[in-house]
Structure 1
């Protein structure tokens, strides 16, 4: 009898321990995630003033200004609480440092918070771009530039997200003007203005990023070997060129049939699946996978790494494959 009682007590104890662990796990899983403190952005340490700006001793612009500053860079000390929640059209109280009157307040438009920094670069404007007198959306003029390449001598760095891509450019008839919030542009263009030889059939790109948007081989357009006039080049080695008939377009020298191709007529036994490439030197995009089979190769090319490529006829058109390269 005592033995049965002991066994029963042991079973009850074990069950209680299991139940306690289970409840503990449930409580732990139901517990809220640890609180992660959000660090608010800081007011820029230096702000560029674009116009005469009143200064106040307190955050009340109903009183007469204590003084006014001409356009210049000023050092900030503080800002009103939650200034970063302001929106377009609202103003922010910002305390700045002066050498002659101590710390004073200014009531600045939210979209004028930032600093002008000098740069020296060429920018290709890919869309029509409105001109602004300042890097602020409220200063837009009626003047619109057609797509072209311009020289920029300054950038406006601002914590206001919609003011990104704001650059001061040089114009021949208006002087310096601003391009504001223009997402369709290419920075750091290299001006070339020289002849360029396209020795083999090359992918014709209406836009600089046409190659990355190809969905199928039939979407591609090609130009025959020819000499073109290279106007400029992007950081990624894509050239903006003009043909002899005056047509302008984009090319990437690697997106072309390779030089030194050897004509062959060879049955090629593919022992495994291979990717289909438009050109051996164009890694993206690829155009499907060809399963293991025997195909007819009509051209062969050895790349700089001494690896063999074969040009074959496929359901997707003429494609390049590399039989020894795994997927």
Structure 2
């Protein structure tokens, strides 16, 4: 009798194990590292009806799988199950919004903001504050990247705050302190790109550059005016004026700047074909 009870118990236990195995579908393959931004419950199975076995503190975490339909979603706040590797093993699950499947990378760089930029308490837009930065250069100490957006962590007068999608209106700059002699008339620009056109000209003078983006210099004139210049967008030196007649036999485009031209895609290029 005792032997029969033991065999019956073993059979019931085996059936329960089979049901548990059937209840947890095989996860989709996924291998990535994410940064948890807040304390996150952890489960032994992708099921919120069971009690979590604990919580993970904010940290970098290895993801090794995901629920089968994790790529099917309507918005970035949809929650999906992800299988993770922790110090407790590889059979742990977390339930995260898709937008939280991102990674924070430390950095140290300056960016120039071309327009007013809202400050946020997290890398996500629903954490916007009432504070904003006017166009200026700020120091970036970290970047958060997920499949939906990129956010910068900036040092501000209000402490460290997040700038969301600032890449759309910012330029990475290098701080310089350089005197630049403008020997000819040089066009000035509101942005360090030529596509919106120039905003007047600077007459020959010495200007001070305080930051640089590629071949573009952010300069300050003696009168205190700040503007962007690129010496390719200036009159060439040693111009010899003449009243000679020139005959053209084909349609010839006119250029405002002899050292650059606009290609068929509407992009300005230097004489060697490089985009500006």
Tell me, in whole angstroms, the C-alpha distance in 2 between the residues paired with 1:103 and 1:178: 34
Q: Does 1:179 align with 2:179?
A: no
| Residue in 2 that maps onto 1:22 | none
Alignment counterpart, residue 240 of structure 2, candidates 262, 286, 289: 262
| Residue in 2 that maps onto 1:281 | 259
Tell me, in whole angstroms, the C-alpha distance in 1 between the residues paired with 2:199 and 2:102: 44
- SS for the counterpart of 1:184 is helix
State whether residues 152 and 166 of structure 2, in contact with CA within 8 Å, keep that contact through their aligned partners in structure 1. Answer: no
Tell me, in whole angstroms, the C-alpha distance in 2 between the residues paired with 1:225 and 1:262: 17
| Residue in 1 that maps onto 2:33 | 46
| Residue in 1 that maps onto 2:208 | 229
| Residue in 1 that maps onto 2:119 | 131
Q: What is the Cα deviation at residue 101 of structure 1?
A: 4.2
State whether residues 177 and 210 of structure 2, in contact with CA within 8 Å, keep that contact through their aligned partners in structure 1. Answer: yes
Q: Does 1:107 align with 2:92?
A: no
Cα distance per residue 1:13-56 (max 9 Å; x no partner): xxxxxxxxxxxxxxxxxxxxxxxxxxxx9755111001111101
| Residue in 2 that maps onto 1:239 | 217
Structure 2 unaligned spans of 5+: 1-27, 265-270
Tell me, in whole angstroms, the C-alpha distance in 2 between the residues paired with 1:83 and 1:230: 50
| Residue in 2 that maps onto 1:83 | 70
CA RMSD of aligned residues (A): 2.5
| Residue in 1 that maps onto 2:141 | 153
Taking a change above 3 Å as real, the CA distance of residues 44 and 134 of structure 1, as seen in their structure-2 partners, is farther
| Residue in 2 that maps onto 1:167 | 152
Within a 5 Å distance, the mapping from 1:27-46 to structure 2 comes to: 43=30, 45-46=32-33
Tell me, in whole angstroms, the C-alpha distance in 2 between the residues paired with 1:52 and 1:221: 54
State whether residues 212 and 284 of structure 1, in contact with CA within 8 Å, keep that contact through their aligned partners in structure 2. Answer: no
Q: Does 1:205 align with 2:189?
A: yes
TM-score normalised by length of structure 1: 0.66
Tell me, in whole angstroms, the C-alpha distance in 1 between the residues paired with 2:88 and 2:187: 64
| Residue in 2 that maps onto 1:36 | none
Tell me, in whole angstroms, the C-alpha distance in 2 between the residues paired with 1:173 and 1:139: 15
Q: What is the Cα deviation at residue 220 of structure 1?
A: 6.2
Number of aligned residue pairs: give it.
238
| Residue in 2 that maps onto 1:122 | 110
Q: What is the Cα deviation at residue 146 of structure 1?
A: 1.0
Tell me, in whole angstroms, the C-alpha distance in 2 between the residues paired with 1:220 and 1:148: 19
Taking a change above 3 Å as real, the CA distance of residues 102 and 82 of structure 1, as seen in their structure-2 partners, is closer
- SS for the counterpart of 2:237 is coil
Tell me, in whole angstroms, the C-alpha distance in 1 between the residues paired with 2:204 and 2:30: 56
Q: What is the Cα deviation at residue 271 of structure 1?
A: 3.8
Tell me, in whole angstroms, the C-alpha distance in 2 between the residues paired with 1:260 and 1:137: 53
Tell me, in whole angstroms, the C-alpha distance in 1 between the residues paired with 2:108 and 2:186: 32
Tell me, in whole angstroms, the C-alpha distance in 2 between the residues paired with 1:183 and 1:284: 25
Q: Does 1:253 align with 2:231?
A: yes
